[in-house]
Each structure stands twice: as structure tokens, then as C-alpha cells.
Amino acid sequence: MSKPQHIHILGICGTFMGGIAAIAKQAGYRVTGCDANVYPPMSTQLEAQGIELIEGFGVGQLALKPDVFVIGNVVSRGNPLMEEILNRNLAYVSGPQWLADTLLRDKWVLGVAGTHGKTTTTSMLAWILEYAGLNPGFLIGGVPQNFGVSARITESPFFAIEADEYDTAFFDKRSKFVHYHPRTAILNNLEFDHADIFPDLASIETQFHHLVRTVPGNGLVVCNGREESLRRVLQRGCWTPVEKFGCDDGWNIEANERVSLNGVAQGTLQWELMGEHNRMNALSALAAARHVGVPVAQGLAALAEFKNVKRRMEVRGTVNGITVYDDFAHHPTAIDTTIAGLRSKVGKARILAVLEPRSNTMRLGVMKDALPGSLKDADLVFCYAGNLGWDAHGALAPLGEKAVVKDDLNDLIEAIAAAARSGDHVLVMSNGGFGGIHEKLLKRLAQVAF
């Protein structure tokens, strides 16, 4: 019996590369990996699956002699291990390329692309397929609570993947999603983001156009009918049938949650998720699932049992009548829609928005002028400005006295605790760990006498 092929993953602790590691292990590969910071929860998840992790990028790892090195996009020139791989002309490949060539080659890939909602929509889609008995594989940039894991490989022909527009690797500046060759492609929305790698919206539209070019003629493009940017993408060329959503001549949803297709009622969406953005996510997931044979009624029944993704309006605790939420929102549009969704649920109750501008785009200050508008529906705004390269005080000045900016996390927590009162909803938004603010804030609120 031949030994299993061995891959060594550089940058293994990121969500995407960790997901590749997990499904490679499930598929029978020997998997080892390294990263600059090896710590829970990803480290414990990987080690529990028998994946050996190494801290740092030391050249001694060459002694492992893997069949191929799989390179994450956190790795750049100057990385000591990468430099020696190049010097010795050893075999290496990007994560997306390896995934496409080995595990996805014979799959019906359902790819979910867009500036916002990729993780949630991919989770919805995977759950609909699971509910319908199709046992899909998936790779998702979060943990869907219906599954409890972010990635798995199965014998099913169907594989749902979060199709990210971020670049592939230091040696491949195409978006990750051009590697996946989806038969069913969702284009959820398209705005300017990732200012660290894209100069403007047009350059991102070009990458989406490259994605559309890879979808076969017997596939399906499910496209947001409200987005001018996506209309431009399709005008550049599309060789695949298109189903639009969010408009009358396609999939739509009424205020009473009735779903229609080309004006014909399909059923009612009954669930607990908030916000128009999630209704749009649901429409695209229903359309994609229908393309692989899942009836709309069955898709709606699945969504009634959908539990969302961790860090998507996740309630972290309630103390003294104050509810603390955790959400991944980190782009002004996502912040706006997240607050609007919470507002529709809580009515006139106070919303205290707590923001960490942590993404590369936000740290560069490209979106700072849009922040006041995105936070307008919050009653109070608390911004953590530690390590920012721009003036958060000045950027949030249009909000007047309702905005509080602090450079120290403990000072921020004290300010929130001083302002909060019973009945409030504290919405914490960041794409990182935010210094463990959720637990610290809940503990501090428990000490306050109301």
C-alpha cells in the first residue's frame, strides 16, 4: 500500500488554509503545517484532527520532505522557509490551486462571491443541500452552527465554497475564486473593498469578470439584480444562463416574507434572521440550490431551521437587561445593514454600536468618510482607535456627542459600561478578536449597579 501524499501548508492557521488542511486530512492526505502564530481555536481544531503544527517559518521544516508545499497568501518574499523552497526549486502551489486541482476537480462546485454575505450565504446553501439529503462538502470562512465545522469533504458530487476575491498568493495575484471553476456561481454584491490590493472598483469588477468567464454554458450565474457594478460585470461578457434576485424579473421577496420567482409565488420564508441583506442572501441560496435540483419549498423548509454563523449577530450574553452581540461587520455597508437589521428587531430600544476598524481597508482609512453615515441609526457609537493610522475623532465628528473614541481598550469598556442601561443592545463589530472585549464587557456590566 503506497503512503499517503504529504502536503506541508505555510500559513495554516488562517480560516481558509485551516479549512483546506481539514478536508485534505479527511481525504487521506498526510498534512503538516506552520504559521507565525499557532494558537487556539484553530491550533486545537487542527491538532485534534492529527495535523502536526510548527510555530514559525524555520528552514528546518524542509526536513519533512513533503510532496508539495501549499502556500497561503499570508506568505511573502523574505519569508525564510519560502526563500529556501525557491532556492532549492522545490514543488509549491497556492492553496486555491491545490484545492481546485486535487479535491474539486470532479465536483459540482457552487461558489458564493460578493463583497458582503459570502460566509452566511455559503452556510445557507450548504445547509439547504444537507437538509435535502445531498450531503455536500463545503469550505466556509466561518463556523456555520448547523454543522459546527467550517469545512468538510464528502462523497457527494456537490461542494459549496466561499469564493473570495482576495488575491491567491504572492506569486499569483488573481482572485482566489478564479481557481474554483464553479458550475453554479452566486454574485451577491460588489463594492470597493480590499484597498490594500485593489486600486479601485473597476479592478475588482475585472476579477469578477474573470470568474464569470470560468462558469460553463450549462451552469448558472445567480446575480444580484440591484447592483450596477454586477450589471457592468455581466455586460463584459457572459456565456451562462443568469437568474437575478432582488428584482421583479427574477427572485424576489415581499415585506410579508413571501418568495416569488418571475412574479409567481414560491412560498414563505419563516426564520429568525434579521435584515434585508439576509433576505437577499436567502434568495441567492434558494436559486443556487434549485439549480442542483432542490425544490424551493424544500429550500424554504431548510432555511426555517438555519442557525446562522458564529459571529453573525451572535448573542454573547445578557446581563442586567443589556444584551451584547458579536458581529463580523467591518465595511461601512455591512455596518449599516447590520445596525438596520438589529433596529428592525429591537424597535426603539437603544443600540450602542462598538466598532474596531481592523480590516486592511479600514486601517488604511479609505472608508473613514463613510463611517458616520453607516453608524447613523445607532444611539451611541464607541470606536476603538488603537493602532489606527488616521484620525478617528475627526472622522466621527459628524456624529457629534453620540460618538466616543478611545485608544485604550479598557478605557473603551469603561465608557460603554458607564453609558449602558437596562434594555440596551450593545452591538460589537470587528473582523478580529477585538481583545476579547465581549467577555470583558459582560463581566464589567455585571459589576455595575443599575
How many Cβ atoms sit within 10 Å of the Cβ of residue 39? 11
At 22, phi and psi to the nearest 5? -65, -45
Q: What does the block give as the cell for 346?
A: 429591537
Does this model's pTM top 0.85? My answer is no
For 162, 228, 303, 408, the CA distances from 279, given in Å and listed in that order, are: 18, 19, 11, 37
- 8 Å CB contact between 244 and 251: yes
Q: Please say whether the structural domain 6-93 has been given the CATH code 1.10.150.130.
A: no
Greatest alpha-carbon span in the chain: 71
Distance between CA atoms of residues 22 and 70, nearest Å: 13
For 175, 198, 210, the CA distances from 215, given in Å and listed in that order, are: 15, 23, 9
Gyration radius of the chain's alpha carbons: 22
- Give residue 1's pLDDT: 46
Helix or strand run (H / E) with residue 112: strand 108-113
**Which burial class, exposed, middle or buried, applies to 433 when counting CB atoms under 10 A from its CB (0-12, 13-18, 19+)?**
exposed
Alpha helices per DSSP H over 72-227: 80-87, 95-102, 118-131, 201-213
Q: What does the block give as the cell for 100?
A: 481546485
Beta strands in 225-349 (DSSP E): 242-245, 251-253, 258-261, 264-268, 314-319, 322-327
Amino acid at 235: Q
Strand order in the sheet with 242-245: 151-152, 137-139, 158-162, 108-113, 184-187, 220-224, 242-245, 251-253, 258-261, 264-268
Q: Is the peptide bond before 41 cis (omega within 30 degrees of 0)?
A: yes
The residue count of the chain comes to 450
Which class in CATH covers the domain with range 104-303? Answer: alpha beta
Amino acid at 146: N
The residue assigned the cell 467577555 is: 439
Q: Delimit the CATH 3.40.1190.10 region(s) of the chain.
A: 104-303
Q: Delimit the CATH 3.90.190.20 region(s) of the chain.
A: 314-446
The residue assigned the cell 437603544 is: 350
Looking at the DSSP assignment, which residues form a beta bridge with residue 246?
A: none
CATH fold for the domain made of 314-446:
Protein-Tyrosine Phosphatase; Chain A (3.90.190)
- 8 Å CB contact between 450 and 421: yes
Q: Delimit the CATH 3.40.50.720 region(s) of the chain.
A: 6-93
Distance between CA atoms of residues 103 and 20, nearest Å: 10
Listed residue (89, 98, 88) closest to 10, CA to CA: 98
At 314, phi and psi to the nearest 5? -85, 125
The C-alpha angle 16, 22, 27, rounded to 5 degrees, equals 125
DSSP line for 321-353: TEEEEEE---SHHHHHHHHHHHHHHHTTS-EEE
How many Cβ atoms sit within 10 Å of the Cβ of residue 352? 22
- Give residue 371's pLDDT: 87
- Split the chain (450 residues) into runs of 10 and give each run's mean pLDDT: 84 91 95 87 82 95 98 96 98 97 96 90 97 97 84 96 92 94 94 74 92 97 95 97 95 89 93 82 97 97 86 85 87 85 89 85 72 91 84 88 90 93 93 84 83
Torsion region of 230: left, alpha or beta (phi above 0 gives left; psi -120 to 50 gives alpha): alpha
